[in-house]
Every structure is written in structure tokens, then in C-alpha cells.
Amino acid sequence: MELISKELIKPSTPTPTHHKIHTLSFIDHIVAPNYVPVIYFYPNKASEYDHQGSKISNLKKSLSKVLSIYYPFAGRFRDQVSIDCNDQGVSFLVTRIKTNLSEILHNPTETELNPLFPDELPWRDMESNATIVAIQINCFTCGGIAISVCLSHKMGDASTLFNFINDWATMNQNPNEEKTELPFFDAGDSLFPQRDLPVFPQVLFVKQNTICKRFVFEGSKIESLKAIVTSQKVENPTRVEVVMALIYKRVVSALGLDNNTPLRIAANLRKRMVPPLPEKSVGNWVLSFPVSGEKTGETELHELVSKTREGLSEFCDKTVKNFGDFSFVCEFLKKVTSLPKPKEVTASNDCNNKKPSLIFFASWCRLPAYEVDFGWGKPIWVTSIGSPVRNSVVLMDTKNGNGIEALVNMEEQDLGIFERDVELLQYASLNPSVW
């Protein structure tokens, strides 16, 4: 790999004075400032004569324009609760990769993917005064391009990240077209102005020595899982529900964990708030809810789906619907930021005691990942990179929208056991070729 250039891209128009300070939401201010990564792969089309150099020039111009709309992204954090929208810009790197795109897509390992992200930022803690967004354009010998973007988690969640990239792509494809739906920055401040809330400590990642492997569940296999769950009188199970249930069940079984091993699932709150927030609300509008255990024997798939639904319903009724109550929010933040850290226990080092080890799921499914068209067509593949949080799983759509790719993060010895689980491999393929 050769680094061709590195620069800061600034907004095309200065941020107005009345927008100079952006206040974070009550959830944002407790989120750790790690970078959330995503990468898009675009093959070169035989009919396309647009040179990579002109593509990069256009990407810079359109990025500058979209930053005038997403003006906090080009600023710097003032403190834990606000951003100075000072137009300092976002980091923009261009590299030349001396291989063809197909070589990576035939066997997309962590080792191959890591260098395609800017400055080793994925999931890393932000340094003080660092750029909120970092972008790397990777140019392959074949003419293909991979675009990676890292966004500070403190600025927003996966929904915020995908909306930003989609708006950038639309601006690149239609530079003179006015945006019809603008990002909504005031959701947090409209609920509770930060000045009224005490500042709570950030909930930091507990970083562990993990590796990540990708498991792909094709649509036909997911339909088989749905049929198993439906046969037990659970109505209309979703793709995400059945895949989460199977992965949880097989992790517990393969690693010899307790059947009541804690399970938490991240939920998008935008539609669940009262009243609902706009879909393009910028920030972290995601919180995780617990799924209760209390089971002596092995939990079946339909039971896990039912428990997941019960957990989400209870979380919405008892927590989310009360976010309009100032004192409730203060107590909630106090509780969340004082939770004990996850126990440092794995099946491999404590098999006999079977102590619980939290399993965490985040679904990026149904987010507009494959809609990102910069003018060269939609991406052939969209993915992320391994998280340092042990026993965490990120779910993403496959390109056809019917399947699910699961990025599973575990300690190496545990993942070595899990990836050989026979029942899991009846439904999932381990890191199949993308090309």
C-alpha cells in the first residue's frame, strides 16, 4: 500500500454563528468517543472511462458540500457535552493498493481489511482535538475503489453514519440537486437542554484481545430458521430475531456457558420515542436492553425469540416512554454509568464454573448500506471490522437484502471452538468469497 495524500476537507461554506456550538444529546454525552468503521467496495466497470483521479476530485468537492449540511462533523469536541463547529475539517486519505480488488474480496480477512481504514482508527479511542470523521479512499490496480469511513461514536450511531454517507453519495452524483430531507440535529436538545443535566461519566469500552470472523446466513437458511420458530406458535419472526437466537444458542452450547448467560441487544430508539424522532436524527439514539434468562435447561430458538420480544417491549414501556421525564432520565443515566464492568471470564479459561459472560448484539440490518451510489453504481459489498468487545456480534444485510452477515468478535480460543460448531454451520457459511 502507498499513501498518496492526506489532507483536511473543510465545509464549502462557513458555519453560521448561531450554529457554532452543537450540544450533544443526553445519550451522546455518556458514549465513549471510539470510531465506528464501515467500508464500501466498488468494482471498476468495463464500460466506465472515468479515471480514479477525477473520481477522487469529485469526492472531495461533494464531501466539502455535504459538510456544510453536517457542520458538526467538521468541528472538534469542546468537552464531553458539546462540539465547537469551527470548520477545521475531516481527515481525507488516498492510497494506492498494488493488487486487484477481487483478491481481497475472494478472501476478506481482518489482515486484508485493516489497512483499508484510515490511521488504524476503527474502534480506537479518539485523541483530544482529533477529527470527528476520517475517510480513506483506496484505489486498486484494476480501477476498483474501496471507501472507508470512521465516525466518532460520540457524534452518532450506525444510522447516523449511514445517513451521512448516503447524503455524501447523493451530493456526489447530483451536485446541483437540493437536499429534500436534511439531517435533524436538534433531537437531543429539544428533549433536554444539556445545561439542565448533570454530566455523567462516559461508558467506556472494556477492550479485550478479540479476533473477528464473518458468518453469512443466506436467505434460504434464514427461512428454515423462521419455519422452526413459527412451528412453535411464534408469529412472524424476523431475520434478525432468528439469527440472533441461533448465534446465542450456539455460543452458549459450544463454549459451555451457563444457560442464563446474560444477553443484551441494541435497539434503535428513533421510532420508539414518544413522540417518535425523525429517521435522520443525528446522534446516538440506540440503547441496549437485557433479555431475561432464568432457564434451567437449554433454551430453544422460539423461546429466545419470545424472550427478545418481551425484553424489548418491557424496555420501551418502562424506560423509553419515560424519557420525557427529566428526573427519570437523570436516574437512568446515573444507573447506566455506574454499572459494573463485564466479568473477565471465558469458557476457555473457566469451563468448570461456567460463569456468565455477557453476549451483545447490534443489528445494522435495514439501514441504507447498499443504497450508497456515488455515480458509479451501488457497492458490491459493505462491511465493518472487528470490535474489541468480547462476545459482541454486529449483524449486517447481505447485498440482496435477504441474508445476514454476522461479524462475531471473540477471544481466539473461543472463536476457534465456535466456528467449528456443527449446528451453526448447517445455517451459516464461514467467510465465503464476496466476488
Task: Name the catalytic one among 125, 186, 189, 373.
Answer: 373
CA distance 405 to 407: 7
Active site residue 373: yes
Active site residue 29: no
Nearest Cα to Cα of residue 123 among 38, 36, 207, 206? 36
**Contact by Cβ (8 Å): 147, 138:** yes
Task: Name the catalytic one among 29, 153, 157, 414.
Answer: 153
Nearest Cα to Cα of residue 276 among 376, 401, 400, 191? 191
- Mention every residue, 6+ apart, whose C-beta is less than 8 A from residue 132: 72, 73, 74, 75, 76, 77, 83, 90, 126, 151, 152, 155
User: The C-alpha cell of 217 is what?
Assistant: 446466513
CA distance 229 to 221: 13
Side-chain-side CA neighbours of 81 within 13 Å: the count stands at 13
- Residue 391 phi, psi dihedral angles, 5° rounding: 60, 35
Count CB-CB contacts under 10 A for residue 220: 10
- Residue 212 phi, psi dihedral angles, 5° rounding: -120, 140
User: The C-alpha cell of 329 is what?
Assistant: 432520565
Query: What is the dihedral angle through the alpha carbons of 201, 38, 178, 171, rounded to the nearest 10 degrees?
Result: 140
- Say which DSSP state 98 is in: S
b/e per residue 74-106 (b: at least 16 CB within 10 A): bbbbeebbbbbbbbebbbbbbbebeebbeebbe
The DSSP code sequence of 268-319 is E-TTTSSSPPPTTB-S--EEEEEE----SSPPPHHHHHHHHHHHHHHHHHHT
Largest separation between any pair of C-alpha atoms in the chain: 64
Bridge partners (DSSP) listed for residue 142: none
Q: Which residue has the cell 434464514?
A: 222
Active site positions, annotated: 153, 373
